[in-house]
Amino acid sequence: MTARVAGLGLWTPRAPSVDAWRAGGLETPADEPPAALLGPRLRRRASLLSRLTCEALGQALTAAGADPAKVVMVLGSVRGELETTVALLDQLARGEVLSPALFTNSVQNAALGLASIAAGNRAPSTTVAAGPATVAMALLEGLGLLAARGADVAVVLADEPLPAPFAGEPGASLAAALLLRAGGPGPGLRLVRRAASATRAVDVANPVAPALALVDALLVGGPAVVALEAGDDDVWCAEVSP
């Protein structure tokens, strides 16, 4: 199926919006995503991943003129609420009483749950974690829901930095969102398995970084083929068409 991408959202410290990304990014990194979609009460209890998700989601909904109360939502996240989970494990290791608030935010679908509460949205939502194929599988889930239901589908791809005590570079926060529609204006998007035509370099160390190359291709409007996972032969790719 080919969907139309009616709206985009993006948040990284150096590019807290699609316009900032298009302009080459900020010299001074942004602090935290504002996540205006959540409102003050829900935003106070939201984790970093939830704020990332809801900020990119809100941008895409606004760009597409979509109804937050009716859109179907998909979140692709490799790590999920890892920072919150580590905080809970630290409490457990110290023999402390576990925080109910942290536990609520430790599940993989916490971000979309908060978005649903904020928007009064009772449409389906799902969260996908598929390792290196997460970006492709989240988009595949979104395209499947669009084909089955016909309603707007928002696909968000987000991961937070790797928290201590994990080894290696922590990386940077990243969230990208695509508002998929069955028709109308916007570049076309479909998924295929094929040999990757090119290696896409990105400047953000994050498990969902292939989303940045996809955003670039969508901003140009195609035609383009974007590899969504590592490898040269028979990988998931996004075909972008005018």
| Residue 194 counted as domain residue | no
Kindly indicate the confidence band of residue 198, based on its pLDDT and cuts at 50, 70 and 90: low
Lowest model confidence (mean pLDDT) among 21-35, 54-68, 191-205, 227-241: 191-205
pLDDT of 201 reads: 47
pLDDT of 42 reads: 94
pLDDT per position as a tens digit, 66-83: 999 999 999 999 999 988
| Residue 161 counted as domain residue | yes
Which string of DSSP letters, residue by residue, matches 125-166?
EEEE--GGGHHHHHHHHHHHHHHHH-S-EEEEEEEPPPPTTS
Give the integer Cα–Cα distance in Å for 105 and 40. 16
Please tell me which residue, 3 or 83, carries the higher pLDDT value: 3
pLDDT per position as a tens digit, 47-59: 999 999 999 999 9
Edge-to-edge strand order for the sheet containing 174-181?
125-128, 72-76, 153-159, 174-181, 3-11, 188-194, 235-241, 224-227
Average pLDDT over residues 146-150: 96
Give the integer Cα–Cα distance in Å for 181 and 159. 24
| Residue 105 counted as domain residue | yes
| Residue 74 counted as domain residue | yes
Q: How far is CA 6 from the centre of its chain?
A: 16
Domain total of the chain: 1
| Residue 232 counted as domain residue | no
Domain containing 153 equals: 3-185
| Residue 50 counted as domain residue | yes
pTM over 0.85: yes
- CATH code of the domain covering residue 49: 3.40.47.10
| Residue 60 counted as domain residue | yes
| Residue 242 counted as domain residue | no
Closest CA to 155 of 145, 168, 170, 147: 145
Give the integer Cα–Cα distance in Å for 166 and 21. 29
Look at residue 44 and tell me whether its pLDDT is greater than 60.
Answer: yes
pLDDT of 197 reads: 63
